[in-house]
Amino acid sequence: MASRVNISRVNLTELIRSRFVRDLPLVVAGCAIAALAVDIFMVPNGLAAGGLTGLATILSELARRNGFYLPVGLQTIVFNIVLLLFVMRTGGVRYAVRTITGFVLFGFFTDLFVPLAETFADAANDLMLSALWGGIISGLGYGLVFRAGTNTGGSDTIAQIISRKTSLPVGATVMVIDVAVCAASAPVFSLIQALYAALSMVLSGYVIDAVVDGGNRQRAAFIVSDEWENIKGAIFTTMDRGCTELMARGGYTGTERPVILLIMSKSEIPIIKTIVHEYDPNAIIMITDVSEAIGYGFKDFSA
């Protein structure tokens, strides 16, 4: 029994290492793309779009006004190192390694690309275009990093610390932190720049979701019908898909019958609606989003 446990631990360790090495080029590319967007579109235009990068942008501008240079990338690395000390115990070694890799690469590229970004100064001096393209390109970069199972620290780490102390939801806390950073940039830059920074932040979030999902968003349908057998057969033959029967009991009638669970693509929604309506116009069908479907007929576990 002990030997089996040891073997499984070795295999798990090798799997984690192999996936990390495989995903590393994606992390490097994502950090480079996000850093380039920050250097070209965000920092030169005073767009502090939330997170530690936004805070570093504010502090860098205050330092510039006082006659010295404070690199944005180096600031993010130092901030993240301090914050990581508070959450390392809960995240484990794997979390720490991936997080450190993400924020070190991002900080390194952010400072590395500063001279390169200066050559694009004339092309990125419009606030609207800078906010839009900064959000899109940085969202693409961050999305690639997140898709690889890594992160760049920042607001997420702060939110974990606050959530642990107060039991506030992590997602809502991240949003509050990012909005607070945008608001704090208004006295340093201007209200207009703060609003454009918020626009860029929202747009970046949408792009991140699109990249992380990678076109793999599916739909789940729950079908309640007395004609469940016919509907199930039509799903097999017409849609060439499998489905699952979930045993349920009616709250009012007390009658037991299966509820059909079906995972499908967005384009198959009209087909399942037609099938259900054909066999039982009085059926109940609930359709909801599925962020990712892994397994036979969908995405492979190794993808």
* Residue 291: band (very low, low, confident or very high) from pLDDT cuts 50, 70, 90: confident
Average pLDDT, the chain: 82
Q: Is pLDDT of 11 > 70?
A: no
CATH 3.30.70.120 residue spans of the chain: 218-290
- 244 touches 260 (CB < 8 A): yes
DSSP 121: T
Amino acid at 114: V
pTM of the model: 0.74
The contacts of residue 127 (CB under 8 Å, 6+ apart) are 45, 47, 192, 193, 196
Structure tokens at 59: 């502090």
Kindly report the CATH class assigned to 218-290. alpha beta
- Residues 248-289 have pLDDT tens digits of 888 888 888 899 999 887 778 888 898 898 899 999 999 998
Amino acid at 110: T
Distance CA 76, CA 283 (A): 54
Structure tokens at 116: 């390169």
DSSP for 221-267, please give it.
Answer: EEEE-TTHHHHHHHIIIII----EEEEEE-TTT--EEEEEEEEE-GG
Please tell me the predicted confidence (pLDDT) of residue 7. Answer: 41
Extended strands (E) in the chain = 218-224, 244-249, 256-264, 284-290
Distances (CA, A) of 131 to 15, 105, 106, 137, 140: 40, 23, 20, 10, 14
Interhelix angle 2-37/72-112, nearest 10 degrees: 80
